[in-house]
A and B are shown apart, each in its own frame.
Chain A
Amino acid sequence: MSSPLNPVWIPRKRRGAELGLLVLALVIGIGSYAAVGLGFNGQVPSGIYTVGGIYALVALGAHVAVRRFAAYADPVLLPLVVALNGIGLVMIYRIDLGLDAAGSPFGPFAQGQLRWTVLGILLFVGVLVLIRDHRRLQQYTYTFGLGALVLLVLPILPVIGNAKRGAQIWIQLGPFSFQPAEAAKIALAIFFAGYLVAKRDALALAGRRVLGVDLPRGRDLGPILVGWLASIGILVFQRDLGSSLLFFGLFVVMLYVATERPGWIVVGGLLFAAGSWFGYTAFGHVRDRFDAWLDPWADPDRNYQIITALYGLGHGGLLGRGWGQGSPEITPFGFSDFILSSIGEELGLAGFMAVLLIYGLIVERGLRIALTCRDAFGKLLAVGLTVSFALQVFVVAGGVTRLIPLTGLTAPFLAAGGSSIIMNWIVVALLLRISDQTRRPTPAVAAIGVDDATQVVKL
């Protein structure tokens, strides 16, 4: 079918476009860094060449790695992520300055975050180099499942388990603390994808129709019940509302996509409602979060954080106070959990929306990769990683802007936190790997049967 009337899609690498966008992303990041210094004390930060140089170097290194090891990968994802990570680094540096000026014992955080970023990009390159075909991961389905379980249990073990701020979600190894839930999320997505590819027919075949909704058979509810109970378990033992919600959402979405049966969404929704009600009645901290969402001013002392974050957003207004000219350091954890409200304060509604749009574009690219991917495992993995990313953004951004009750999740690529930054870089590497497989031209052997090229394969 290679006649001029029906031109075949010629795969293009588009690496030049990626480089161009990447330079733009670096201009945003490094320009913001300079702007913080100018806004805060009228001087360009002294680290502009060293810090800016390091960041530009690793970002360009990531680009070179993509060029070398995933030449056909999506060209937009990497620049988007580099822009976000840069904005996050600059905001953390800016809050360091503010905390230091206020004589706070907290901080500095920016240097650590830069180190984690470099490590994250190294791991990003490592994933691209080591995993040349994402389908290989399918072989280790149950290994990843077990790994996820271990990672989830780690924080409640004695000695290495560590409770901070009322949630038992950290592990402490010597001087390093790590939040294994982020890594567990990736392992779970791989496990679910592998498991569902194998079992999806069994899950989808039988069932009956109730009120116009296809409900799965009773015995097929088994796995989703296990997933639900596991997320409730996290909620109960680790008091981690956000991760519990995220895992459950990830599981339901992947079940739905694998089986193409909306009944799972209905069942998942009902179980979510039941779980929420259980959480509300059984746990004081869930109730507190809910009440704080309904009316934070009913208890201004307890809800100081969300109130002062909202004040920051209000003070930012349309165009923001400008880099270095607001007071984001007033909000507790304005460099991590509440970094989005810090961005809203200094960059205003315009900046906040720009950041949300960058997140939205990342989700769009991820879903596009899932749509165009040719193998079921890759599709499921891409959609799982992307939707859980979107869900995480929704939960954290909705939480700090009081759209939904606050839960303890971090804004991907922005918030200070080593585990989050590293694991999100790995997510991007996996998405790029799947995308590379998808867009790569089919090997020459496929040309033997010409008619096959037009055959639509429903996946």
Chain B
Amino acid sequence: MNKPIRAMAVACLVMFLALLLNVNYVQFIQADDLNERAGNRRVIDEQFSRERGAIIVDGEPIAQSVPVDDKWQFQRKYTEPRLYAPVTGYFSYVYDHAGIERSYNSILSGSDDRLFVNRMIDVISNDQPKGGSVELTLDPAAQKAAFDGLADLGEQTRGAVVALDPQSGQILAMVSQPTYNPNRLASHDLDKVTSAWKRLNEDPAEPLLNRATQTTLPPGSTFKTVTAAAGIEDLGLEADDDVKGGRALGFPGMDYKLPNQGGSDCGGDPISFERALNVSCNVSFGWLATKVGQEKLTEQAEAFGFGRALLDDLPNAPSRVTADDDTELEAPQLAQTGIGQFEVAATPLQMAVVAGAIANDGVVMKPQLVRTVRAPNLSILQQNEPEELERAMSTADARELRSMMVSVVEKGTGAPARIPGVAVGGKTGTAESAEGRPPYAWFIGFAPASDPQVAVAVLVESAQNTTDIAGGRLGGPIARSVMEAVLR
């Protein structure tokens, strides 16, 4: 009977080898993956009882861990919580984390591989491990101006503002309204956290949503800048060239006509390209879109960043020209696309990038929210340098469009964004939403035109007025005050 017993011994050896290998796999190879999964209470507990690194804006912490006398020892505190909530996110025991708290969790909690040496030193010197800090690119004055601007429109206003430095891509302001207080979610009173979370999630205005990066809506007439860029790049149009004007754009063999806002005339037919942009003429840009064609228009939009997630630091939705990549647009649909309707949908971040690229001689800079990442001992772990994403237009073409946009503010619908003594470029937009819902008001702009320091996009979702001027009237002043805050 010894032969089968030896065979069983080999079988047992195989079983134990399998167990040993598997346990090595789980505890060594898979361990990091397991530790990073959401809802891992052990890791949450550990991170909660650690001195988490600060999130810093302009040298001041906007989120930091302060010692408290309970089982977790540290409490996350947000100074000016509502102002920065869309960016910082929250750090909750029960509901995980969001925003920078999530995307930079490994640094803030100190578990990042780059902090390995620091951790070893902490172990040897028997110190409590600490997290590193993250410094944002935000400009407090611009952030405050954007926040106040939206807040002044009333409690019920839903909207977002993004401002960035066109030359570096650094985001100077990112605001979403309504906002929330992340301190409530970071509280150690878990019952209160649960009820606060419930309230925030049941709120139809979705305060936890960062509208600046996650909401894609029809950009309306602000998208005419993209159509104009395609016209300049592909058809060689110049500001003085004639484009189609009139009351409405007809299509051969169809009853449908694309009218102007309120059925008005754009000032004759034909009109100059510059005038078409000044008065935001639907006929001209619908016509231009059909001349450029779907392919070129989509290519131009993609050169500005449509179709991809632009920002690494926060969850952000890609913007789109058509709902599906393989959609073949009919002429009327293409004309509507050219004026930012039909299936076009863009985030405020994307529209700020469009404005920024036009201002920056046609070069699209990658938007960045984090400037510096530091170890607990303040040594620099990561310094983000400006990164060129793509060239959307030639320098000369971009300057042509830039001066046209300056004209929009000086002579056209963008008047509310005027800043005395500064050449401001801009474009308004009012996008139709669903039946019975108020349209969205948009404004994109940049300043100063000669040496652009700031590009901005404003979205007001719940605008009350239906004329095209609404984009200028609601968004213009907010954009102006943000730009003023940066230029000051």
For residue B15, CB closer than 8 A to chain A, the reply is yes
For residue A349, CB closer than 8 A to chain B, the reply is yes
Q: Pick the interface stretch among B21-29, B180-188, B418-426.
A: B21-29
Q: Which residues 246-271 of A sit at the B interface, judged by CB distance below 8 A? A: 253, 256-258, 260, 262
Shortest CB-to-CB span from B7 to chain A, Å, is 8
Chain B residues with CB below 8 A from A397, complex form? 19, 23
Q: Which residues 319-337 of A sit at the B interface, judged by CB distance below 8 A? A: 326-327, 330
For residue A367, CB closer than 8 A to chain B, the reply is yes
Q: Given A394-B15, A398-B18, A401-B26, answer yes or no on A311-B45 (Cβ-Cβ < 8 Å).
A: no
Q: Which residue of A lies closest to B15 (CB)?
A: A394
Shortest CB-to-CB span from B82 to chain A, Å, is 32
Q: In the assembly, what is the distance between CA of A393 and CA of B35, in Å? A: 26
Q: Which residue of B lies closest to A353 (CB)?
A: B20
Chain B residues with CB below 8 A from A386, complex form? 12
For residue B5, CB closer than 8 A to chain A, the reply is yes
Q: Which residue of B lies closest to A315 (CB)?
A: B42
Q: In the assembly, what is the distance between CA of A64 and CA of B12, in Å? A: 31
Q: Given A311-B37, A315-B35, A330-B41, answer yes or no on A371-B2 (Cβ-Cβ < 8 Å).
A: yes
Does B8 lie within 8 Å of A253, measured CB to CB?
Answer: yes
Q: Which residue of B lies closest to A308 (CB)?
A: B41
Chain B residues with CB below 8 A from A20, complex form? none
For residue B16, CB closer than 8 A to chain A, the reply is yes
Chain A residues with CB below 8 A from B18, complex form? 394, 398, 403
Q: In the assembly, what is the distance between CA of A9 and CA of B59, in Å? A: 82
Q: Which residue of A lies closest to B8 (CB)?
A: A387
For residue B66, CB closer than 8 A to chain A, the reply is no
For residue A229, CB closer than 8 A to chain B, the reply is no
Q: Given A314-B35, A318-B27, A348-B27, answer yes or no on A327-B42 (Cβ-Cβ < 8 Å).
A: yes
For residue B31, CB closer than 8 A to chain A, the reply is yes
Does A352 lie within 8 Å of B23, measured CB to CB?
Answer: yes
Q: In the assembly, what is the distance between CA of A364 and CA of B8, in Å? A: 11
For residue A310, CB closer than 8 A to chain B, the reply is yes
- Return the CB mask of A285-302 against B: 1 if under 8 Å, else 0: 000000000000100100
Q: In the assembly, what is the distance between CA of A364 and CA of B41, in Å? A: 39
Chain A residues with CB below 8 A from B30, complex form? 310, 314
Q: Which residue of B lies closest to A257 (CB)?
A: B4
Secondary structure at the B interface, as helix, strand, loop or mixed, is: helix
Shortest CB-to-CB span from B120 to chain A, Å, is 13
For residue B434, CB closer than 8 A to chain A, the reply is no
Q: In the assembly, what is the distance between CA of A312 and CA of B45, in Å? A: 12
Chain A residues with CB below 8 A from B323, complex form? none
Shortest CB-to-CB span from B457 to chain A, Å, is 38
Does A318 lie within 8 Å of B12, measured CB to CB?
Answer: no
Does A379 lie within 8 Å of B19, measured CB to CB?
Answer: no
Shortest CB-to-CB span from A358 to chain B, Å, is 11
Selected from A349, A383, A390, the residue in CB contact (under 8 A) with B15 is A390
Selected from B2, B5, B26, B46, the residue in CB contact (under 8 A) with A313 is B26
Does A371 lie within 8 Å of B5, measured CB to CB?
Answer: yes
Does A349 lie within 8 Å of B27, measured CB to CB?
Answer: yes
For residue B6, CB closer than 8 A to chain A, the reply is yes
Q: Which residues 367-418 of A sit at the B interface, judged by CB distance below 8 A? A: 367, 370-371, 376, 379-380, 383, 386-387, 390-391, 393-394, 397-398, 401-403
Q: Given A260-B4, A311-B41, answer yes or no on A317-B27 (Cβ-Cβ < 8 Å).
A: yes
Q: Which residues 442-459 of A sit at the B interface, judged by CB distance below 8 A? A: 459
Q: Which residues 149-178 of B sit at the A interface, judged by CB distance below 8 A? A: none
Q: Which residues 5-57 of A sit at the B interface, judged by CB distance below 8 A? A: none
Shortest CB-to-CB span from B25 to chain A, Å, is 8
Chain B residues with CB below 8 A from A356, complex form? 16, 19-20, 23
Does B1 lie within 8 Å of A312, measured CB to CB?
Answer: no
Selected from B24, B27, B33, the residue in CB contact (under 8 A) with A316 is B27
Does B42 lie within 8 Å of A383, measured CB to CB?
Answer: no
Q: In the assembly, what is the distance between CA of A345 and CA of B20, in Å? A: 15
Shortest CB-to-CB span from A116 to chain B, Å, is 26
For residue A360, CB closer than 8 A to chain B, the reply is yes
Chain A residues with CB below 8 A from B487, complex form? none
For residue B267, CB closer than 8 A to chain A, the reply is no
Q: Which residue of B lies closest to A316 (CB)?
A: B27
Q: Which residue of B lies closest to A260 (CB)?
A: B4
Q: Given A349-B28, A401-B23, answer yes or no on A327-B1 (Cβ-Cβ < 8 Å).
A: no
Q: In the assembly, what is the distance between CA of A403 and CA of B26, in Å? A: 10
Q: Given A260-B4, A327-B45, A367-B8, answer yes or no on A398-B19 (Cβ-Cβ < 8 Å).
A: yes
Q: Which residue of B lies closest to A366 (CB)?
A: B12
Does A403 lie within 8 Å of B28, measured CB to CB?
Answer: no
Does B9 lie within 8 Å of A367, measured CB to CB?
Answer: yes
Q: Which residue of B lies closest to A330 (CB)?
A: B41
Q: Which residue of A lies closest to B18 (CB)?
A: A403
Q: Given A352-B27, A401-B23, A402-B26, answer yes or no on A371-B41 (Cβ-Cβ < 8 Å).
A: no
Shortest CB-to-CB span from A100 to chain B, Å, is 14
For residue A91, CB closer than 8 A to chain B, the reply is no
Q: Given A314-B30, A318-B27, A367-B8, answer yes or no on A330-B42 (Cβ-Cβ < 8 Å).
A: yes
Chain B residues with CB below 8 A from A256, complex form? 4, 7-8
Chain B residues with CB below 8 A from A178, complex form? none
Q: In the assembly, what is the distance between CA of A387 and CA of B21, in Å? A: 20
Shortest CB-to-CB span from B57 to chain A, Å, is 33
Does B12 lie within 8 Å of A363, measured CB to CB?
Answer: yes
For residue B34, CB closer than 8 A to chain A, the reply is yes
Chain B residues with CB below 8 A from A326, complex form? 42
Interface centre among B5, B6, B16, B39 (most CB of A within 10 A): B5
Q: In the assembly, what is the distance between CA of A403 and CA of B24, in Å? A: 11
For residue A344, CB closer than 8 A to chain B, the reply is yes
Chain A residues with CB below 8 A from B43, complex form? 311, 315
Shortest CB-to-CB span from B281 to chain A, Å, is 54
For residue A144, CB closer than 8 A to chain B, the reply is no
Q: Given A367-B8, A371-B6, A387-B8, answer yes or no on A318-B19 (Cβ-Cβ < 8 Å).
A: no
For residue A425, CB closer than 8 A to chain B, the reply is no
For residue B383, CB closer than 8 A to chain A, the reply is no
Shortest CB-to-CB span from A408 to chain B, Å, is 18
Chain A residues with CB below 8 A from B384, complex form? none
For residue B40, CB closer than 8 A to chain A, the reply is yes
Selected from B26, B35, B39, B46, the residue in CB contact (under 8 A) with A300 is B39
For residue A191, CB closer than 8 A to chain B, the reply is no
Chain A residues with CB below 8 A from B46, complex form? 315
Chain A residues with CB below 8 A from B34, complex form? 310-311, 313-315
Q: Which residue of B lies closest to A320 (CB)?
A: B27
For residue A192, CB closer than 8 A to chain B, the reply is no
Chain A residues with CB below 8 A from B488, complex form? none
Chain B residues with CB below 8 A from A352, complex form? 23, 27
Selected from B12, B26, B32, B41, the residue in CB contact (under 8 A) with A310 is B26
Chain B residues with CB below 8 A from A379, complex form? 1, 5
Q: In the assembly, what is the distance between CA of A434 and CA of B40, in Å? A: 48
For residue A228, CB closer than 8 A to chain B, the reply is no
Chain A residues with CB below 8 A from B1, complex form? 257-258, 260, 376, 379-380, 383, 459
Q: In the assembly, what is the distance between CA of A121 and CA of B24, in Å? A: 34
Chain A residues with CB below 8 A from B39, complex form? 300
Contacts A344-B26, A394-B16, A402-B22 known; list 9 others, CB within 8 Å.
A311-B43, A316-B27, A348-B27, A349-B28, A360-B12, A367-B8, A387-B12, A391-B15, A393-B19
A-B contact pairs, 24 of them (CB 8 A): A257-B1, A257-B5, A300-B39, A308-B41, A311-B34, A311-B40, A314-B26, A315-B31, A315-B34, A327-B42, A349-B24, A349-B27, A352-B27, A356-B20, A356-B23, A363-B12, A367-B5, A370-B5, A376-B1, A387-B12, A390-B15, A394-B18, A394-B19, A401-B22
Q: Which 5 A-B pairs have the closest CB atoms?
A: A314-B34, A349-B27, A314-B31, A403-B22, A257-B4
Query: Hey, which bits of chain B sit against chain A, CB under 8 A?
Result: 1-9, 11-12, 15-16, 18-20, 22-24, 26-28, 30-35, 37, 39-43, 45-46
Query: Hey, which bits of chain A sit against chain B, CB under 8 A?
Result: 253, 256-258, 260, 262, 297, 300, 308, 310-318, 326-327, 330, 344-345, 348-349, 352-353, 356, 359-360, 363-364, 367, 370-371, 376, 379-380, 383, 386-387, 390-391, 393-394, 397-398, 401-403, 459
